[in-house]
Structure 1
Amino acid sequence: MSGLVARFAPVFDEVGAEAVAREHERRLPYAEVERLREAGFTRVTLPREHGGDAADHAELFELLAELARRDPNLAQLFRSHFSFIDRTLHAPASATREARLALLADGAIHGNATFEKGTAKVGGYDTRLTSDGDGLRLDGRKFYSTGTLFADLVSVLADREGTPVGVLVRTDAAGVARLDDWDGFGQRMTGSGTTVFEGVRVRDADVLERDDRPTHAGPFVQLVLLAVLAGIGRAVVDDGVRFVRARTRSYSHAVAALPREDPIVQETVGELSAASFAADAALAHAVAALRRSSAAILADAPDDEQRARVDDAELAMTRAQLVVIPNVLRAATELFEVGGASAVSTGLALDRHWRNARTVASHNPARFKARNVGDHLVNGTPVVSWWTNGES
């Protein structure tokens, strides 16, 4: 266990203590997010001169997995926050970069407003950034705004005269409305609902156009989801062990008096542990590739070397999805093989593991990923870097 993981473990235990109660009540974790901010978790990857701990990628993703072990909602809702920090740290030096680091150092939490429900085509956005007599204004409606209910800032992808741009907006700005209307059956407290922008005033300095510099932003955000899944896998093992240790009821045809002594039950727990181990190993391998990508970008290596390291990170992340997702989903189902009908008690809420894992996994078109890897290996086709969705 790294020093940072050991330091934050008591805080994670504290914010995860009522995770099952929050699940039953669908109680949004505002207090828990504030506790994590207060403890310095939101600044953990910032440089020390900006009040952070300079945590590297291996430390960050292990922290996210351990937080998800306690409550995967909390880990996922910080997805855009840590992605925003990572993009900012890898950006060239500029006044904009320093201003954004200052906001983050002051404790600001960043949210997400990227995807939409509506008529926009794949790769396009109905959200518009336009000019009028008073300057720039932002209008649109975003869905899947994970974490934005808890955020101070949000990056919005918008169309500006046919060009996609990113716009940084304060969530308390006039014309911004955040709606708690996420109705998914899992990850129910991530704040992944609608964000509305009506005539929101935007400064020129808060608009960023896309450039063609190499970036590992795509694999980074996907690896956050895999860290959440890995944490769920660990929680499945934790709950399975806890359930078996406490269980005294058995069956007439069982081979041991107590479930904890039954080799069939022991075998089931062992298989749950192996599935979690596979998820952890795949995540670690992909994070190592991301670290190499980061090192190349920060060292301003030749462009072809940077792109090669980013491509490696993309491939490693894609392969990791094909390991993590099925292993955690299988474990979340087979968990119920350790006990009888009492395992389905709503008081235990063991079903939350499958529902949460299934919801996180559904953020990725995982069915496309194996073909993508095969096409790359056989035909040299590039692995998909940054995908989006919309009307076909």
Structure 2
Amino acid sequence: MTIEASIPTGAAAAASTPLVERFRALFDELGAEAPRRERERRLPHAEVARLRDAGFTRVTLPIEHGGEGVSHAEFFDLLAELARRDPNLAQLYRSHFSFVDRTALAPPSAERDARLRLVADGLVIGNASHERTAAKVGSLSTKLARGADGRLRLDGTKHYSTGALFADIVSVAAEDEDGQHVGVLVRGDAPGVDRIDDWNGFGQRLTGSGTTVFDAVEVDERAVVRFGERRPSHGSAYVQLVLLAVVAGIGRTVLDDAVRFVRARTRVYSHGSGPSAAGDPIVQEVVGELDAASFAADAAVARVAAGLDASTAAQLGGAADEELRTIVERLDAETARAQLVVLPNVLDASTKLFEVGGASATDADLALDRHWRNARTVASHNPARYKARALGELRLAGTPVAGWWSTGEG
């Protein structure tokens, strides 16, 4: 056997860490049907339940709260491995894991412990924050107000509610009667909540990123987080890294599929440069470039994940606000840099993949087009051009890269 032939491909090529090894078989099983699920638009409710039952939704929960307390470096590599099998599954947990992270870092309180207990009990947290309304940038049309009976009620419509279709609890961004932003936790099946599967993007079709309507939904006072003066937070870097890990996972499977396709290919071109597809230097060069692109994406994700671990240690260690602000600003800049590494490398690789074969690579049953569609859809969440400009301004004028941003009418 040659050295090249002995190199594992596909899921077997994943980094062999105890955490990855633990979930490998389940990930492989869930990923086997991913192309078919997408073609049939079969929402992965069963797959979400399997992952919950296996403990996936609790891996980042602190040990003292019933989880495993894995590091950010371990978790984001694991998330990329899930995205390698099915990027829809990986993305739909974005709000769930960011909820765990920000709640675990919140000041100790009975309310914080109760929220973490939701995750320990196996509940999945979804998102309802983005709107497509006439509200101005920085404002929200979704309102939390007290009725004549003294009870709090939530009204509004959200779009791009990633994961909400699969969630037991939906985390909603709203404004209270004083115009202050608040976070509201509501049951996904509560009266007045309508979760609609109307996401119509050409990629990431099964993330549940549709519309969620809240019509006079009664809210418990204990389910409201009222934001006062907050410490610097790496929350923005965290949610961005979820998306980048998803794209890095797509980069891994682009390489997997290229190797698998070439090794199985028996036909060659008369004007080719080798006796077989696998022995053609031109094809080898393409596969080598796909390998390097995936390596670059993985390295960028790992760098930011290490920064999140450092930020977490500083927060848990009681770092002063000014020190923490410096750490977070550096992390926001690194996340922007990672975006400019991960996205173009994987998008280019998902197109270059087709250079390893002829028209047979476009066979719909192979579904190789899904890699570009999925990566392009995730990449469109936050246009990289703005991040490039922000990094340029950082270098030229010393202006920190903005961590948080919002959309709305100008």
Aligned residues: 392
**Corresponding residue to 1:271 among 282, 285, 289:** 289
Please name the residue that 1:147 is paired with.
163
Q: For 2:268 and 2:336, how far apart are their aligned partners in 1?
A: 42
* Cα distance, 1:76 vs structure 2: 0.1
Matching of residues 152-163 of structure 1 within 5 Å: 152-160=168-176, 161-163=178-180
**Corresponding residue to 1:361 among 350, 371, 379:** 379
Please name the residue that 1:182 is paired with.
199
Mapped contact 2:333–2:400 kept (Cα < 8 A): no
Mapped contact 2:80–2:245 kept (Cα < 8 A): yes
Aligned pair 1:9/2:24, yes or no? yes
Moved more, 49-58 or 369-378: 49-58
Please name the residue that 2:267 is paired with.
249
* Cα distance, 1:48 vs structure 2: 2.4
Please name the residue that 2:212 is paired with.
195
Please name the residue that 1:73 is paired with.
88
Q: For 1:51 and 1:162, how far apart are their aligned partners in 2?
A: 36
**Corresponding residue to 1:309 among 296, 321, 327:** 327
**Corresponding residue to 2:251 among 223, 233, 242:** 233
Q: For 1:153 and 1:163, how far apart are their aligned partners in 2?
A: 22
- Look up the SS of the partner of 2:278 in the other structure: helix
Deviations 1:257-304, CA, capped at 9 Å, x for gaps: 210110000000000010010101111111111111111111111111
- Look up the SS of the partner of 2:153 in the other structure: strand
Please name the residue that 2:144 is paired with.
129
**Corresponding residue to 1:20 among 2, 14, 35:** 35
Counterpart AA for 1:213? R
Structure 1 unaligned segments of length 5 or more: list them.
none
Q: For 2:314 and 2:330, how far apart are their aligned partners in 1?
A: 12
Matching of residues 32-181 of structure 1 within 5 Å: 32-134=47-149, 135-160=151-176, 161-181=178-198
- Look up the SS of the partner of 1:260 in the other structure: coil
**Identity, % of aligned positions:** 64
* Cα distance, 1:49 vs structure 2: 3.3
* Cα distance, 1:341 vs structure 2: 0.2
Counterpart AA for 1:34? A
Indicate the RMSD between aligned Cα atoms, in angstroms: 0.9
* Cα distance, 1:255 vs structure 2: 1.4
Please name the residue that 1:319 is paired with.
337
- Look up the SS of the partner of 1:261 in the other structure: coil
* Cα distance, 1:368 vs structure 2: 0.4
Q: For 1:122 and 1:26, how far apart are their aligned partners in 2?
A: 33
Counterpart AA for 1:205? R
Structure 2 unaligned segments of length 5 or more: list them.
1-15
TM-score when scaled to structure 2? 0.94
* Cα distance, 1:47 vs structure 2: 2.0
TM-score when scaled to structure 1? 0.99
Deviations 1:305-343, CA, capped at 9 Å, x for gaps: 111111111111110001000000000000000000000
